[in-house]
Each structure stands twice: as structure tokens, then as C-alpha cells.
Amino acid sequence: MLFDTHAHLNAEQFESDYDEVIKRAERAGVSNIVVVGFDRPTINKAMELIDKYPQVYGCIGWHPVDAIDCRDEDLEWIEELTKHPKIVALGEMGLDYHWDKSPKDVQKEVFRKQIRLARKLKMPIVIHNREATEDIITILKEEHAEEVGGIMHCFSGSVESARECLKLNFYISLGGPVTFKNAKKPKEVAKEVPLDKLLIETDCPYLAPHPLRGKRNEPAYVKYVAEEIAQIKGITLEELAAITTNNAKTLFKLK
């Protein structure tokens, strides 16, 4: 059974066919899905989905691109929602230096506040990183994020930065890009990272894997990610699925 640790089923691209998407995931062997909410509308939708579908869990936080819109009352609201038994992590949080909507200092402050909240709640965190690896690792160290650990979501960095993240008690999660023909770095990371620290995800509806690149991604397609990593690791799909599912259940404290 496969575990999609990062999906945006709460995105508008899925509004017309939730049931069909979930059924296709089941047929593909996907046992669990974590839906990620990162602002008020997507968090509200995530809460609806975790109540509707038994195999769907939630991760809630505030996205760095929208950090400028984050108020203390938003984080207090998120803290209150974590009382729901199916909220398993905080995020996605982090830094994004590609888009310029939120100034870097604002992003950093909102990131730090969320790490502190996670430590208070003893919950793992899910990290969004775009062109900000050095600053993210610095903040994780300064805020003692290793106490809760978490996931480097859709990891796109080097083997060296993956090693830094592993030292900080983080799992490395790989998605569709690991299947791309020219994806040298993700394949190197897949080869290097220990099996007990690997996770898989879709980040759907984005980043559909080869051979579906350019189409709407969905949880069923996490199988392509698993197949590619299994081939890189020289193990069977079944072994890779069992290990990464067990890793996810351990991190998210699921039985």
C-alpha cells in the first residue's frame, strides 16, 4: 500500500470529481493521503475532506508566499484546529524566494512562529522551500526544529543539503520530478537517502510524473514515483511501498 504524504485535493482543480479521484487512488493501492491546507480557504476545505474520507488526513499551516497576510489570530485558529484527531502535521511552512509577494523578513517571522507552535504542540512540520535552502536550514537550527522533525516536501535540493536536513530529524519526500528523464538531482537524492528516511508524494494537482507530465496530477499517480525510486534503490515496488508507508505512519503517529 502507498501513502501520498502531500496532496492538494482541496484545490479548485478537484472540485468536480473528489469521489472519482479517491476511488482511483484506492484502485492504485494508495492507502492514505495527507491533504495540505495553507491559508484560510484551503484549510477549511481540508477539514471538510478529512471528515468525509476515512483514508484522508490533514496538514495545516501558512504558506510563505502568503506570509504577509498571516495574522496572529490565523495561527491561533490553526492551533485550535489541531485538536482534530486527523490533523497530523503543521505546514506547509517555510520560505519562498521565487515569488515576491511577501518580503523575506515577513516570511522568516511567520516561519519561526509556526515552528514554535509545532514545538508547543509536539507536531511534525512540513517544509516548503523554493530558492531558500540556506536560510531554511539556519532557521530550523536556530528554532530547534529537530525536536519535532518533519518533512522536506517535494525535495529539489542537492545530496549535500539532503544530508543537512537528515541531521535535523527530517524525512526527504520526493514527488513527480524524480521520474523526469533529465532530473539528475532528485535521482541522486533518491539513491543517497536511507530508506528509513524516505517518503513519497504527488503535490497534486501539480508536478504530474512521467509519462503524465503536463496533466492534472492526482494521488493515484504516486505509484509512478514509487516505481522510479524502487528502481533506483534496486528493490521491489512492494518493498518500497511498505517502507515509505511505514515511515509516514511513524512520523504522523498513525497506528
Write down the pTM of the prediction.
0.97
Quote the pLDDT of residue 255. Answer: 82
91 dihedral zone (left: phi>0; alpha: psi -120 to 50; beta): left
Joined grid coordinates for residue 152: 522536506
Homologous superfamily (CATH) of 2-251 is: Metal-dependent hydrolases (3.20.20.140)
Residues (pLDDT < 50) of the chain are: none
The torsion angle over the Cα atoms of residues 61, 254, 169 and 176, rounded to 10 degrees, is -70
Quote the pLDDT of residue 100. Answer: 85
